[in-house]
Amino acid sequence: MDVILAGLALFNLGSMVTIFLPRSVRRKAVPWATFAFALLATELAWIWLPLQALFAWMLINGGALDSSLGVIALCILVVSWCGLVWSVWMAYQARPAVEYALRAALGQKFRDDILPERRLQLRDDVRFSDWRNPIETGHPEVEVLRDIPYQPGGIRQHLDIYRPREIPEQGCPVLLQIHGGAWMMGDKTHQALPLMHLLAARGWICVAVNYRLSPSVGFPTHLEDCKSALCWIREEGHAYGMDTSFVAVTGGSAGGHLAALMGLTANDPQFQINHPGVDTSVQACVPFYGLYDFLVRFEQHPNRKLYEDFVTGRVLHQSRGENPALWDLASPVTHIHSGAPPFMVVHGALDSLATVSDARVFSQKLRKVSENPVAYVELPGAEHAFDIFHSPRTEFTINGVHQFLEWARSR
């Protein structure tokens, strides 16, 4: 029993170390290992804490404290529980962080700019029932249409539609969701479900898209597929109840990178060779924990060599030395211009995979140039991919995204 208790204590200790590591140490850590430990300890801390307390109580009753190893393990475990309590508290700091970012970018009374009938659709509060099931994947008011091809080709060029069961005559505004997965994995059915169900239940149509994956293809094929999906929305969306005059785009991680490019490369002919006459502008852009500068020209990546080695030959089929123009082309920061749509950039302060400094630099540079608002939301205590779970942090964040989108639409 004492050995089992010690194992539990070591697991928790590893999670806490990854969360509270100083930045200088985190730069030398293995990102995927840090991410794996930290995500569960940040987003699911409210579940782990009572479960571990119950398990520890059972082990203690079984004699785990009969040895010094068990006593030491319990002491470590109790200290680690303080870290889990901290994680729960930090999740609730998402609400003021989101509110502050939106007010700073859109104005103190930005909600007054939202049309009254749309303001009624906003969800101001987050209740326990909204996040008590972290992996809930459905909503009674939402209909899902799956695996619709958006262009002739392979199975990866399909999309899913999340829409209200009752669609108004004028149609619904559209959110295009691009999944993440390091450009090499992932699927449209697994990400951003809390956001898409919230919006679809409140009068939006969400389109989740797959795209061809690396290493079998390299950039810009991923972006070209996403552009093709947007062209399908503009050409065929009316038949599914979409108001194609307002299309926003979002995505997380690699999807955040592609979403930012979608927002900044409207109607660029090199990315839509098969759809030269179709409007590929978007009216708002919400990238989550994306990557914004492949060239790392502002020294914002803590482990530059590890990052470059990962994308070379997989995502970018030519090295930085062989084709620096390709790396530049793949960087959203390159495409910043004054006519960019309104942006809401969301990033976790503890992100292990996509460094938060990249999001800060991108937001600052975009804000200096763009004629439209740029809201930068840095979420305290948040890891990469935090929003795959229903949690207090996720629910407060998607409430803010809904407010931002309704504000942009009302303009």
- The per-residue pLDDT for 241 is 97
Distances 217 to 184, 294, 314, 317 between C-alpha atoms, Å: 9, 17, 8, 8
More confident residue, 65 or 177: 177
CA distances from 51 to 5, 11, 366 (A): 13, 14, 44
The amino acid at residue 131 is W
User: 67, 2 in Cβ contact below 8 A?
Assistant: yes
Mean pLDDT of 387-410: 97
pLDDT at position 210 is 98
| pTM summary value | 0.93
Instruction: Give the start-end residues of each E strand in 139-292.
Output: 142-149, 158-164, 172-178, 205-209, 242-252, 284-288
Segment 347-362 shows an average pLDDT of 93
The catalytic residues are 253, 351, 384
What is the pairing mode between strands 158-164 and 172-178? Answer: unpaired
Q: Is the peptide bond before 220 cis (omega within 30 degrees of 0)?
A: yes
Let me know: does 352 contact 295? Beta carbons within 8 Å.
Answer: no
The Cα 369–Cα 218 span in angstroms is 30
What token pair was written down for 220?
């810009």
Q: Is the pLDDT of residue 3 over 70?
A: no
What's the confidence (pLDDT) of residue 304? 76
Q: How far apart are CA 325 and CA 302, in angstroms?
A: 23
Average pLDDT on 241-262 reads: 98
What percent of the chain is modeled with pLDDT above 90? 69
Of 24 and 77, the structure prediction assigns the larger pLDDT to: 77
Inter-residue long-range contacts of 276-282, CB under 8 Å, 24+ positions, other chains counted? 278/230, 278/231, 278/234, 278/235, 279/234, 280/227, 280/230, 280/231, 280/234, 281/341, 282/176, 282/230, 282/247, 282/248, 282/249, 282/341
Task: Report whether pLDDT(202) > 70.
Answer: yes
The SS3 assignment for 128 reads helix
pLDDT band at 8 (very low <50, low <70, confident <90, very high): low
The total number of residues written for the chain in this structure:
411
pLDDT digits (tens, 9 = 90+) for 102-116: 999 999 999 999 999
Q: What is the pLDDT of residue 16?
A: 61
- Residue 309 to residue 313: CA distance in whole angstroms: 8
What are the tens digits of pLDDT across the range 138-192? Answer: 899 999 999 999 998 788 999 999 999 999 999 999 999 999 999 999 999 999 9
